[in-house]
Each structure stands twice: as C-alpha cells, then as structure tokens.
Amino acid sequence: MILLLKRIAREPMGLFGLVLVVLIILSALFASVIAPYDPIALNIKERLQDPSINHLLGTDQLGRDLFSRVLYGGQVALKVALISIASALSIGVVLGMLAGFGPSWLDNLIMLFFDTIRSFPTVMFALAAVALVGPSLGMVIVVIVITSIPNYGRVIRTQTLTIKNNEFIQAERVMGASLGRILRVHVLPNVMGPLMILASMDIPTVVALEAGLSFLGMGVKPPTPSWGSILNDGYTLIRNTPWPIIAGSIPLILITLGFTFLGESLRDLIDPKLRKNL
C-alpha cells in the first residue's frame, strides 16, 4: 500500500488527487476540532454575513457558520459514500464471481437481476424510494447500494470469466479444491484491481447523488448539515447573497477532482492496458 502511494505521488495528477482526498478526509474526520462554531447553532444577529475572519465562508439565513457546516457536511458525504460503496462492492463481488464461475442458469438469473435494477434510472428510483419511505440517511444509503451492485457485479463477472479457464484454476479443480477456496484464494485477488479503480471514481457520483437528494429535501433531515442542503439554502437566497451556493459547491468540486485524479492514477498503475484501450 505504501509503495502504491509513493508511485501515485510521483505523478503530478496523482499527487494532486491524493492531496485533495487526504485533505477532504482529514477535514471530515477532525471537523469537531477544526470547525470554529457549532454547525447547527443559530445566531440571527449575524445572518447572511459575507466572508470575514470570524466566518470564513460567511453565514446563512439563520446565522449559522457556513465553514463549520461544510466541514460537518463532509462527514455526511463520506459516511454515505464509504458505507454504500463498501456494501455494494461486497455484494457485487459475491454475485459477480458466482455468475462468472457458476452454472449457466445461475449466471442468467443473476444477470436478469442486474438488468432489472439497471432498467430503472438511478435518480428516479431514488426519488421514488425516498418519497415512499421518507427522507433519511439510511434510505439514501440503501438506494445507492441497490443501484450500485450491478456496476460492480458486471465488472467482477467479466474478470472472472476471463480467468476462469486459466491453467492455475484448472489445476486447483483437479486437486479437489472447493469452489469457495478457488474464488477466495485465486479469483478474488485477480479481480480486485479494476474494482478499486471503479470504486474510487464512483465516490464523487455517490456524493453528488446524496447532495442532490438533500437539495430536493429527500436526503438527510434538517438541521443536519449537508452539502446539498447548503446548496438548497443558497438557491433560495441567491438574490440576497451568493456565498451559500459557493460554500456548497466548492467541496463537491474538490471531491470530484480529487477522487477522479486519484482513480486515473490508480488505473494507470494497476492496469496500464486500460489506458491504451481508451
């Protein structure tokens, strides 16, 4: 892992992405230490303040410090992204390997499941699910997990089919190795590289989806700080002040640039053939 990070840091694009990702993660983890104010504390006397020494990004319509809300909003964004992607990745890996290594009827059944989920537009599915059950952080995570499983499952299935008939797999079969051992010891390590690349590039998409749902009032409930809810406040107050929109947009831009550049560098290091095929 350390060697991989050193190789990433040697490339300007990879170093830039790595620095952004580390800063975003650290700012979210230590938000309680860095944030100068309580993100939900009201101070009507200082409402709609411009950026200053006291309020680095200004204040919103309720006098809440936007810099503090952005920092705590990063906790929500990363929590949703990491939990949902880790869950979808785990389920997708299992289903993808079973589809690629199992009998044809199981492959067809799992692919039908993937196609059924992918037939629904992600945003429309999310809006429908949240509208039926009600807005909550847990519901957002469930929606993202369900809609992300086919992405990872298909990649794993393809990679599994590629190595299924390799000589070392055949040798394991002849020696009487169980299906579980073959998948765990020989297939899984050979298919994780592309998945790590895909997962790193999916984080900005997941964060944007959570922000979009919160912007529409279907994500996390107020007064919990979220980048989407900050953007919603900014949209409502656009004629009065631009700072809430700027405060909510900056972290979304930075997290997109950071994880995209990091994913590009991982792709080039783990599998340079992918770059040649693009």
- pLDDT tens-digit map of 61-75: 888 999 999 999 999
Res 181: pLDDT:
74
- Largest Cα–Cα separation, the chain: 77
CA distance 218 to 64: 21
Q: Name the token pair of 258.
A: 């950071």
Q: Name the token pair of 20.
A: 């952004």
Query: Any idea which residue has 């991989």 for tokens?
Result: 4
CA distance 254 to 20: 7
Average pLDDT, the chain: 83
On the question of pLDDT at 22 being above 80, the answer is yes
CA distance 14 to 8: 5
The sign of the dihedral angle between the CA atoms of 196, 200, 201, 205 is: positive
Q: What percent of the chain has pLDDT over 90?
A: 18
Closest to 205 in 3D by CA, of 81, 21, 87, 121:
81
Q: Which domains occur in the chain, in start order?
A: 13-29+62-266 (1.10.3720.10)
On the question of pLDDT at 139 being above 60, the answer is yes
The sign of the dihedral angle between the CA atoms of 52, 56, 58, 62 is: negative
Cross-strand partners of 167:
none
Closest to 102 in 3D by CA, of 160, 172, 185, 166:
160
Query: Any idea which residue has 């783990």 for tokens?
Result: 270
CA distance 95 to 186: 16
CA distance 198 to 185: 22
The residue with greater pLDDT, 35 or 175, is 35
CA atoms within 13 A on the CB side of 102: 16
Res 175: pLDDT:
75
CA distance 142 to 92: 14
Please tell me whether residue 60 adopts helix, strand or coil conformation.
coil
The sign of the dihedral angle between the CA atoms of 258, 69, 128, 135 is: positive
Res 119: pLDDT:
82
Query: What average pLDDT does range 41-47 have in this prediction?
Result: 87
On the question of pLDDT at 148 being above 60, the answer is yes
CA distance 148 to 185: 25
The residue with greater pLDDT, 102 or 81, is 81
Query: What average pLDDT does range 80-96 have in this prediction?
Result: 90
Q: Name the token pair of 26.
A: 């650290």
* Residues 77 and 255 sit within 8 Å (Cβ to Cβ): yes
Residue 176 — left, alpha, or beta (φ > 0 → left; ψ -120 to 50 → alpha)? left
- 226-244 as b/e: b if 16+ CB within 10 A: bbbbbbbbbeebeeebebb
Please tell me whether residue 9 adopts helix, strand or coil conformation.
helix
